[in-house]
Each structure stands twice: as structure tokens, then as C-alpha cells.
Structure 1
Amino acid sequence: MTVPADPHRVVLFDTTLRDGEQSPGIALNTAEKLEIAHQLGRLGVDVIEAGFPIASPGDFAAVQAIARADLEGGPVVAALARAQAGDIDRAGEAIRDAAAQGRGRIHTFISTSDIHIEHQMRNTRADVLEGAKAAVAHARSLVGDVEFSPMDATRSDPEFTAQVLQVAIDEGATTINVPDTVGYATPDEYAAFLTRLYALTPGLRDVVLSVHCHDDLGLAVPNTLAGLGAGARQVECAVNGLGERAGNTALEEIIMLLHTRRDLLGYTTGAVTTEIARTSRLVSRLTGYAVQPNKAIVGRNAFSHESGIHQDGVLKDRSTFEIMDPASVGIDDAEQLVLGKHSGRAALKDALEKLGYRLDGQALRQAFDTFKEVADRKKQVTAMDLEALVADELRADADGAAFSLVSYTVEVRSDDRPPHASVVIESPDGGRVSGGFTGDGPVDALFRALDSAVAVDARLREYRVEAVTGGQDALAQVSVVVELGTAGSALRTQLPGVERGERVTGAGQAVDTDTIRASAIAYLRALNAGVAAIAAARPDDAPLTDPGP
């Protein structure tokens, strides 16, 4: 990517599908990642970092699918790679289709801080210089758009970092990203560091300077803004601020900061701000990570007013206590679209298209069947309900050869007899197995019965229930995170890797008007995700010690 012709234009680089997915408990499948990528295209993101192809066959498949997709706006599709030939080859292969259209990028990185060089990489500064040179040259031989990052840059010696950056630029890097990998810098410190790099690196002004900030000290957005002030024109961020540890710069926050205070800052982006709320809801549903109520821009309280003085002012003129119109981020539209049980297939298709979902044939028939089933139990189906239902249908389609729920019963007994649950599930080979168990409550009994049927040692790490919309007939959205360990005989035959005592995390979500049923499906999906993670493990089984910038 060349330096933007407009000096005030800021490039939006979204890393939800790479750094965001590294958040504990998130395990998106290819269909879910593709759905998020399509929505990021509608949002107007310039670059989508689709994943880390060397990490696993599943990650490679997801990056490749996104690179092959016809995404709205034609964003660049980037793949992350360590400064190693094997990583770079795998990344180049994954984004080959996008690169053929001039929208593929390899993002390669190596640490430059002495802390990482000595204690993590166990090599020398000379090794880092040579590694950066070879990596960028190799990546440039595969694609025309190469991004380079000196990991842990803000704890690095600026003179040495400048040497590494100049080497990367000389070898053809088109974007230089200077990450605050551990969220250590303050805004003034970060701006001064970037200014120093400009002074020490002759070629830095001829490429795009990017900033990637983590939120360990709550300074990701302020540091990103400071980076723009120092000359950066690409910002790396994630929807809802997802990412390693405390997360990354929140995409929605930086977009609306630049949009709302353009009078002061003067920056522009290509973002379609009315897609922000929908993007946030989609990512929250698919990852199982709830948005905190008081989260800026997209939290449910972001435009709510409890104080009588505030309410009075807003009723008279919204600008008294609101600096942004809720409609500008797409919030007012969430409940305007309403369907009922008498709505036909054409009405459903039209409603889905307004939400950005284009379904035809069998996919539309399945969606309509699900919609009618829910509409019989729910008086009105809103836009938010439809989004949740479509996302749930996509999850069901992506399950493929996995454990699926056939039937369940839960008996809630008297005070002196605990609840008992029985389940029948279909296994990947098409056979049926059953299980039964008692528990402290109906959901606990249900989960234990599922463990018994699947014959797996699973520990429940998170269980969360939220209403998609208000009302007694609201759809329940259930999110489950499990830790999967040594399996019983049913799984041991299929997945011998589990016997080594490994524990992997799986996440699952489901939507239904019946909370118990949604809980059962979400739990099974979490088990399936854990099983898939084991089955898709890289052949060499070597840990990826470098998670990326």
C-alpha cells in the first residue's frame, strides 16, 4: 500500500480475526470469520488481518477463504508471519488469490527489544538485523505489499530499531508498523519515540507508518491518537477492543473519535459509521465476549440517561448531553425492522438484505424455517433477533461432522432431590449415544449429561446468558467456554492426541427462546470446538511462542 494521497486520510487496519481471536476462549470457525470479514468490508475497513496461517490448518483455511471472498469495498487481506521462511511461504499461499487482485499483504515481524532478544529469542541484534532483512526480502518476492513490525518496539533502543526499519524499507517493506506490544508507553513517550524514528530512519517518510497499541494501562486509544499526531497514517485496532491480555485499540472508538472531532483533528477515514453497532453485535455474538454496558460507543448505556437533569436536557435537545447521534453508529435502526409470524419469505429476504445478508436457495429456506419457528413463539422478530438467528444458522451449518443434539429432558425435582437431565446426541460417525446425570441445577445436570454422552473430561470455564432484545419472549443468547482434557473411550479412539494430558479451550454460542435448549446447543458447540482444535493441531505440535505484534 502506498502513502495515501490525502495526508489526512487514515488507513483502518483491523486485527479482530488475528489478534482479537487470541483472546482466551475465542475459537472462531471459517464460516464465522468469513461472516465477520464481510461485515468489516461493509464497515469500510481498509485492511483485514485475517489470521496467522502457520498456526493451524484451520487458520490457513480461514485466511484463504477470506482472500478468495468478494468483500464489499475490496479491502486488503493481510496474513501474519514470523520472520521465518516457512511462515512467510504459508502466508503467501493463503492470500494468493487476494494478491492476484492487488489486495494481498504479508505482515512479518521480529522482536527488537533486548528483553525479547535475550530472554525469548535467545539470539543477538545481528541475528535480528539479518532476520528482518531476509524475511522482508522473501515476503516481497511473493507479494507487492509487505508490512514489517519490530515487536516490542517501545521497549527497544531507538537507534537499533531505526537500523532494523531501514533494512526492512530497503528490502521493499511498504508499511512499517511500530507496535506498543505490551501497552507500556504513555502518549507523549510514544509520540516522541516515533518522532525519533523519523529522524533516524531516512526512508520512513516514503512508506506508511502504522501504530498498533495494546490497552494494558488503558492507553491504547490515546497512544494511537498520539501516533497519528507524530505522522502515522495507519491505525491497527480490533472490534470491541478485543486482543491479547487487555486488548487492542477499539476500532469503534478510534473511528468515532476521528469522526466526531474532525473539527479539531482533521483526520478522515473510509468508515461507514452506521455499520459500527451491527459490527460490534456480530463480533460479540460470534466470540461470546459480551460488551460491557458502559463501553464507549457500543455499550448499551452509551446513549442512556439516568439522571433527571440529563433526561430533561436530552428531551429538550439531544445535543445537551450527547456529543454523537446514536443513529450515526447504527443504534437507532436496531429495532425499526419488525416481522411477525405472518411475514412471508419475500419479506424475510428483504429484511435480511437490509441487514447485509444475501441468502438464496437452500440457505434462505433454512433461515425462513427457523424464522417461522421462532415467530410462532415470539410476537415480534426484530432486526437484532434476525441477526442473532442468521448467525446461529451459520454456526449450525459450520458444525459439519460434529456432535449434535437429538433430544434432551430435564426433570426439576423437589428440594431434597437434585435435578436430573437425560440427553441423546448424534456422534460424528452418525451413531447415537445417550447420557444422564444429576446436578446442582437444571443447567449443571444438562452439562454433566452431555459430558457423560460424549465421554469427555470438560471443565466449564464460563457460562453466560443474555437477552438479544427485551421482553419476556426475548431470544436467549447463551455463551459457553469449556476446557477440554483427557477424553474417555469415545473420544480417545478418534483423537489420540487428547491422551497426552493436554487441555484445550473451546467456545460455543447458541440462540433460542428456550434458555435450556440454547444452553445445551452452546455447550455441545464448545465441546466440538475443543475437539476440532485438537484434531487440527499442527503436525509438528510446536508451540507458537510469538503471538505477534
Structure 2
Amino acid sequence: MRKIDIFDTTLRDGEQSAGINLNTAEKIEIAKQLERLGVSIIEAGFPASSPGDFDAVNRIAGTVKNSIVTGLARCVQKDIDTTWEALKVAEQPHIHVFLATSPIHMEYKLKKTPDQVLEQAVEAVKYAKKFFGLVQWSAEDAFRSDREFLVRIIEKVIAAGATTINVPDTVGYASPQEYGELFKYLRENVRGADNVKFSAHCHDDLGMATINSISAIQNGADQVECTINGIGERAGNAALEEIGVALHIRNDIYQVETGLNLKEIKRTSQLVSRLTGVVIQPNKAVVGKNAFAHESGIHQDGVLKNPETYEIISPALIGEGEVPLVLGKHSGRAAFRDRAFKMGYDLSDEKLNKAFQEFKKLADRKKEITEEDLVTLLTETQVSVEDIPLFELKSVQVSYGTENIPTATASVVTPDGELKTLASTGNGSVEAIFNTLEQLVDGPVSIQDYRVKSVGKGRDALGEAVVNILYNGLTTTGRDASQDVLEATAEAYLNAINRHLIRQSIQPKQPIL
């Protein structure tokens, strides 16, 4: 059965989504989960774009062993050098270089002739081949490129040493038939095509990224590039979970295998959603909360008699379902460590102790601790940044009444260790909290987005707050979960400020591919 490599670009193209900013610890956690999921290649970032991306790619390359780790680079020698420095510690160093080939991109963006573009691409691949055994070259905006020129430049980069050719639909313009025909055309007309992998990279501007990717597979693509939950530039990328499950469920048609551990899909989806702050729409295919929900009486009756009457995907296939929970306020550290390990969390002793203390506090307050509670608690502990001085909320109190002006008072330890007590008013409790904490920084903080949702069920469920701020020209997202949504709101605001402190030296990345 033909093997299709899954190239995950959640940490590169996915992170380019508006409003998403992951720190290094969070990227490493996602990369480790992608490794458990069984993806073939993890695109960890764009090393030359910022010191933060370089550090993340380098640390992921040194951590992940069972998936190939790659980094993106322009067809520029400096980018290739930087990417090599980041990836030379990897088990199988892999580079992904790209250059636009469509007439509109060459004329208006690159301001180069086709011959100049061809020469630059060939020289870059030759140079990259000096360091990397695996060189992927991408023709940015390939679908809107002239086919004859595409054949000519692909032949030259293959001769120069490229091992994978990526043919992206960068702007999501292709129809399934057209995109499949392009791969068939290239397979039949490019000299040396049998010596390389062809890769599909689709965007979802017209809602066809998943089917376009599958059409490419049916016409000769050996690799598909996708993201968890379909996040990415503009309308997003092809969703990994949709492609992986579709190829599995309809294997009678596609007759390919991916090597994915499908039971890890649900957890991977939830982890990426939580760390990026991007909520999964309820009716999202495969991973939405309504994907296995049945409200119609006719549907319910059928499912009770035989789930296959209305479910083509078994919830267990993607790791969905009830997990027996035996942890409570009387549970010990050993049982807690065992559960954390079984859930896939590899915590240091220090972080395990911190998580256990938070678990005990939560167990004293809640009647029932759910699996969602544990995922929230363990994820926050796993990805916490502890080696940088940051703001720490000691307490927050809000005075509110229908005939009184809402007032918030907060005690905060500053990065230099000073304890400050601040107070301010607002039109509501949340605004009072924001106005109070804004006094900690110089200049105005603009709230771009604020939302609260429950984690789990019941009146004692945790409330998760997400705050997206604009400060000093940078957008950052903070989050926290607590039974008190106002406490969670204050912690989320400070989390956003802390993230700003961490990334203020990082330069913004340019949108590509």
C-alpha cells in the first residue's frame, strides 16, 4: 500500500494565523504531541525570521527523534546558513526552501524575470545541498504559475539536488480537478520526477483545502502539508485530522496509509486549540464537540440500536470517549504522577509537585474533577516559563453592585520583586480589572478580544478566560482557568502582559507560502 507522508506545518504556517503567538515551551509541547501522533515531518518554524523561532526550531530538533524536523528558508544564503545552525542537531536535518514562480508574484513581489527566479532557485538548492541531505523546494503560488515554466524550474532544482518538490495552492484558488491534473501533468512531464517526492500544500480560501489535498494524492502526490484544526494564513490550511481520517475511513477508494496514530488526534486538537487560543467550531469535522452529537430523535434511536447507522467515524478511533477518572482529594502523588504519565505528560519533579499542589487545591473545591480539568492543569504546568522574571498575581478583589461603581483591587509582584497594590474603577467588573492591571505597564493596552468559556460541566466547572491585547505594536494572547472567572480574567490579562515581555525582542514574521 502506498505511503503518504504527513508534513505538519502547525508550528510554522499555523502560527502565522492572526492573533496566534506561541512561546518556545508551548511549541516544544506541541511538537512532542505531533511526534506521538506519528506525523512524518514537523515544520518547526522559520529560523531566520526571529531569535525566538530559531530557538524553538533548534530545541525541537534536539528533542524530537521519531519525526523529521524541518525549518523554512527563503532562497537566500543567509537564511540557509541560519536554518542549518538551528537544525544540525536533528536526527535527519531537513530544509524547506521556497521561491515564488507565478507571473504576478515574480513581477510585483520579487521584481525578477523568470530566468532570474530560476537561477536563484537552483543556486539556493545547490547551496542547501552542501549541508542538508533532505532538501525540499517549494514553488510558491505554483497553481497560478505557467505550467511550462513550472516544469523547467522543477527539472533544474531536481538536478541541483532537491529531494522533495512542493506544489502549493498558496491562495486557495484551485478546484479539486484542476489541482489533481497539475500533479498528473508534472509527474508526466518533469524529467527526474520519479526520483523525488511531490508534495501538496493547500489553503482553504474557498473551503476546498482537504479535498484538493486528496485529489493531489490520487494524482501522484507522495506528501501532504497540513495543520492541526486547519489553522493557518487567512482561511487556514488543509486540516490534518480531516485528511488522516478520510484516508483511513475511505481506504477502499484511496488505498494509501499515513502511519498516523489516529487515537492521538483528539488530544492533539485540544492541545493546539488551548495553546493557540483558537476555539474549534462545534461542527468542525472530526474534532468538533458536535462531531459525535445526536439531537434528532430518529438519529438517537438509530445510534442506540447500532452506532454505525449515523456514525461513519468511531469516537474511539480518534481518542474520543469517556476516560475513567479515579483521582480525587484523597489521591496521592504516585497516583497523580501515574495518571499524568498515561495522559502523555512528562513532567519534571518540580513541575509535578507544582501540578499536584494545584490539583489538591482544585480537589478541595470541586465535587468532581474531570478529564478536561486535568488536561487544563497539566498543560498549563507543562508549558509554564519559569526562568524569566514576570508579573505574578497575588490577589484580586472586585467590589460590584447594581447601584455602585465597579472597583477592582489587585496585589501583584512585579518582575523586580516589588509587591504593588493597585485599584481602579470601570463600567463593569472586567473593565475594572483591566484598568487596574494596565497601571503596571507604560502606555495604553488595547483589548482586541476577550472571552470566557467553561471547562467541563456543572456549576463548579472551571472557567477559562482568554484575553488578546495590543501593546506597543505587538498582539499577544493570554489565558488562565479558575473556578472564579474574574480571577481567571485577571490572570489571563497578566499572562498576556508576560508573553509580551518574553517576545518583545522578537521581530514579526512575514506571511509566506
Question: Where on the TM-score scale, by shorter chain, does this alignment land: which range?
Answer: over 0.9
Alignment match, 1:353: 341
Aligned partner of 1:505 in structure 2 is: 475
- Residue 53 of structure 1: how far off its partner (Å): 0.7
CA distance in 2, matches of 1:336, 1:118: 60
Please tell me the residue identity of whatever aligns with 1:93: E
More off after superposition, 301-310 vs 417-426: 417-426
Is this contact kept in 2: 1:52–1:60, CA < 8 A?
yes
Aligned partner (choices 376, 400, 416) of residue 412 of structure 1? 400
CA–CA separation in structure 1 for the residues paired with 2:44 and 2:261: 20
Instruction: Classify the secondary structure of the residue corresponding to 1:465.
Output: strand
The answer to whether the aligner puts 1:377 opposite 2:365 as a matched pair is yes
Check if 1:35 corresponds to 2:29. yes
Work out the CA distance in 1 between the residues paired with 2:120 and 2:405.
Answer: 61
Aligned match for 2:80, one of 81, 88, 103: 88
Local SS of the residue matching 2:467: strand
Find the counterpart in structure 1 of residue 416 from structure 2: 429
SS at match of 1:142: coil
Moved more, 197-206 or 324-333: 197-206
Q: Which residue of 2 aligns with 1:456?
A: 443
Give the percent of matched residue pairs that are identical in Structure 1 and Structure 2: 48
Partner residue, 1:489:
none
Residue 259 of structure 2 is aligned to residue 270 of structure 1: yes
Pair 304,544 (structure 1): closer, same or farther in 2 beyond 3 Å: closer
Q: Which amino acid aligns with 1:514?
A: D
SS of aligned partner of 1:477: strand
Q: What is the alpha-carbon distance in structure 2 between the residues aligned to residue 452 and residue 459 of structure 1?
A: 13
State the alpha-carbon separation in 1 of the partners of residues 60 and 177 from structure 2.
37
How far apart are residue 509 of structure 1 and its match?
A: 1.5
Matched, 1:438 2:425: yes
Task: Indicate the residue corresponding to 1:59 in structure 2.
Answer: 53
1:47 is matched with: 41
Question: 1:154: which partner in 2?
Answer: 143
- What is the identity, as a one-letter code, of the residue corresponding to 1:452? Q
1:386 equivalent in structure 2: 374
Question: For residues 380 and 544 of structure 1, what CA distance do their matches in structure 2 show?
Answer: 43
**How far apart are 1:171 and its partner, in Å?**
1.1
Q: Contact conserved, 1:29 with 1:398, CA < 8 A, in 2?
A: no
Q: How does 1:130-209 map to 2 (within 5 A)?
A: 130-209=119-198
Tell me how far 1:398 sits from its aligned partner. 4.9
- Per-residue CA deviation, residues 491-513 of structure 1 (Å, 9 max, x unaligned), is xxxxxxxxxxxx11101121222
Deviations 1:450-491 (A, max 9, x none): 112223311111112122211111122221111113xxxxxx
TM-score where L is the length of structure 2: 0.97
Question: Deviations along 1:338-361, whole A, 9 cap, x unmatched?
Answer: 411111111111111111112242
Amino acid at match of 1:90: T
SS at match of 1:97: coil
Matched with 2:280 is 291
Distance in structure 2 (CA, Å) of the matches to 1:458 and 1:398: 24
Give SS of 2:3's match: coil
- Structure 2 distance, partners of 1:532, 1:24, is 19
Equivalent position of 1:481 in the other structure: 468
Shift of 1:396: 3.3
* TM-score for both structures, normalised by structure 1: 0.91
Report whether the alignment pairs 1:530 with 2:494: no
SS at match of 2:151: helix
1:396 is the counterpart of 2:384: yes
* Structure 1 range deviating more: 434-443 or 220-229: 434-443
Structure 2 residue 266 is matched with structure 1 residue 246: no
Question: Per-residue deviation at 1:213?
Answer: 0.2
Is contact 1:392-1:511 (8 Å) kept? no
- Work out whether residues 349 and 358 of structure 1, in 8 Å CA contact, stay in contact via their aligned partners in 2: no
The counterpart of 1:467, out of the listed 446, 454, 475, is 454
Separation in structure 1 between the aligned mates of residue 201 and residue 389 of structure 2, nearest angstrom: 38
8 A contact 1:436–1:449 mirrored in 2: yes
* Distance in 1 separating the partners of 2:451 and 2:387: 21
Please state whether the residue corresponding to 1:32 is helix, strand or coil.
helix
| Cα shift at 1:399 | 7.3
Task: Read off the aligned partner of 2:420 and give its amino acid letter.
Answer: V
Would the aligned equivalents of 2:139 and 2:168 in 1 still touch at CA under 8 Å?
yes
- SS of the aligned residue for 1:536 comes to coil
Where 1:511 maps in the other structure, the secondary structure is strand
Counterpart residue identity of residue 454, structure 1: V
Does the 8 A contact of 1:339 with 1:380 survive in 2? no
Aligned to 1:343: 331
Q: Distance in 2 between matches of 1:131 and 1:325?
A: 49
Post-superposition offset of 1:544: 5.0
Partner residue of 1:540? Answer: none
The 8 Å contact of residues 109 and 548 in structure 1, kept in 2 or not, is answered as no
SS at match of 1:332: coil
Aligned partner of residue 67 in structure 1, secondary structure: helix
Cα deviation for residue 116 of structure 1 reads 0.6
Q: Distance in 1 between matches of 2:53 and 2:22?
A: 9
Partner residue of 1:261 out of 240, 250, 254:
250
Residue-by-residue CA offset, 1:503-536 (whole Å, 9 max, x unaligned) = 1110112122221111111111112223333223
CA distance in 1, matches of 2:129, 2:422: 55
Q: Say which is worse superposed, 463-472 or 207-216, in terms of deviation.
A: 463-472
Deviation sequence 1:268-293 (CA, Å, 0-9, x none): 11111111000000000000000000
Native 8 Å contact 2:164 2:197 kept in 1? yes
Q: Which amino acid aligns with 2:241?
A: E
Which amino acid in 2 is paired with 1:191?
Answer: G
Query: For 2:241 and 2:363, how far apart are their aligned partners in 1?
Result: 32
Contact 1:339–1:382 (Cα < 8 Å) also in 2: no
For 2:248 and 2:509, the matched residues in 1 are separated by 38
Query: For each residue in 1:235-292, what CA deviation from the matched residue of structure 2 results, as whole angstroms up to 9, or x when unmatched?
Result: 1000000000000000100000001111121111111111100000000000000000
Contact 2:351 2:382 in 1 (8 A): no
Measure the CA separation in 2 of the matches of 1:191 and 1:395.
40
Distance in 2, Cα, partners of 1:179 & 1:398: 39
How far 1:414 moved relative to its partner?
A: 3.3
Partner of 2:202: 213
Per-residue deviation, 1:127 = 1.6
8 Å CA contact 1:277–1:329 kept in 2: the answer is yes
C-alpha deviations, 1:426-455, integer Å up to 9, x for none? 222222334322112111110111112223
Cα RMSD after superposing both structures: 1.4
- Distance in 2 (CA, whole Å) between partners of 1:269 and 1:326 is 19
Distance 1:398 1:145, change over 3 A: farther
User: What per-residue deviation string (whole Å, max 9, x for no partner) do you get for residues 3-61 of structure 1?
Assistant: xxx5x111011000000001111110111000001111111111000001111111111
Amino acid paired to 1:55: S
Take 1:168 and 1:220, find their aligned partners in 2: how far apart are those partners? 26
